[in-house]
Chains A and B, each alone.
Chain A
Amino acid sequence: MAVQINLKELSKKEILLSPGHRLCAGCSAPIIAKMVLLAAADYPVVANSPTGCLEVSTCISEYTAWKVPWIHTAFENAGATLSGVETMYRAWKKKGKIDKDVKFIAIGGDGGTYDIGLQSLSGAMERGHDLLYVCYDNGAYMNTGIQRSSATPLGADTTTSPAGTAIPGKVQKRKDLTRIMAAHNIPYTAQASPSHWSDFFKKVKKALEIKGPKFINVISPCNRGWRSRLDDAIQLSRLAVQTCYWPLYEVVEGVTKVTYKPREKKPIEEFLKVQGRFKHLFTPENEWIIKKFQEDIDQEWERLLKEESRDS
Chain B
Amino acid sequence: MSAQGWRDLTPGAVVLDAGNAREVKTGTWRTLSKPVLKEENCSNCMLCWLFCPDMAVIVKDGKMVGFDYDYCKGCGICAFECPGKKGQKAIVMEEEKK
A35 shortest CB reach to chain B, Å: 7
CB of B46 within 8 A of CB of A20, answer no
* Cβ of A310 under 8 Å from chain B: no
List the 9 shortest-distance A-B pairs measured between CB atoms, nearest first: A26-B75, A231-B76, A18-B19, A25-B73, A19-B71, A20-B21, A65-B21, A7-B46, A25-B75
How far apart sit A7 and B64, CA to CA, in the bound complex (Å)? Answer: 12
CB of B45 within 8 A of CB of A7, answer yes
CB of A20 within 8 A of CB of B75, answer no
Apart from A11-B59, A64-B20, A235-B80, what 17 extra A-B contacts exist at CB < 8 Å? A7-B45, A10-B50, A19-B21, A19-B56, A19-B68, A19-B70, A19-B71, A20-B21, A22-B24, A26-B73, A26-B76, A27-B53, A62-B13, A65-B21, A66-B19, A234-B51, A234-B77
**Count class of interface residues, chain A:** 35 or more
**A residues in contact (CB < 8 Å) with B:** 7-12, 15-31, 34-35, 58-60, 62-68, 194, 197, 230-235
A242 shortest CB reach to chain B, Å: 15
**B residues in contact (CB < 8 Å) with A:** 4, 9, 13, 15, 17-26, 29-30, 44-47, 49-56, 59, 61-62, 68, 70-71, 73-77, 79-81
In this complex, what residue of A is CB-closest to B20?
A63
Task: Please indicate which of the listed interface residues A22, A66, A230 has the most CB atoms of chain B within 10 Å of its own CB.
Answer: A230
How far apart sit A189 and B46, CA to CA, in the bound complex (Å)? Answer: 29
CB of A11 within 8 A of CB of B62, answer yes
Task: Please indicate which of the listed interface residues A9, A11, A15 has the most CB atoms of chain B within 10 Å of its own CB.
Answer: A11
B68 shortest CB reach to chain A, Å: 7
In this complex, what residue of A is CB-closest to B54?
A19
Enumerate chain A residues within 8 angstroms of B50, measured Cβ to Cβ. 7, 10-11, 31, 35, 197
How far apart sit A66 and B21, CA to CA, in the bound complex (Å)? Answer: 8
Enumerate chain A residues within 8 angstroms of B30, measured Cβ to Cβ. 25
CB of B51 within 8 A of CB of A194, answer yes
In this complex, what residue of A is CB-closest to B79?
A231
Enumerate chain A residues within 8 angstroms of B15, measured Cβ to Cβ. 59, 62-64
In this complex, what residue of B is CB-closest to A223?
B75
Q: List 14 A-B contacts (CB under 8 A).
A: A9-B62, A11-B46, A11-B49, A19-B21, A19-B26, A19-B54, A19-B55, A20-B71, A26-B75, A31-B53, A62-B15, A63-B15, A197-B50, A230-B74
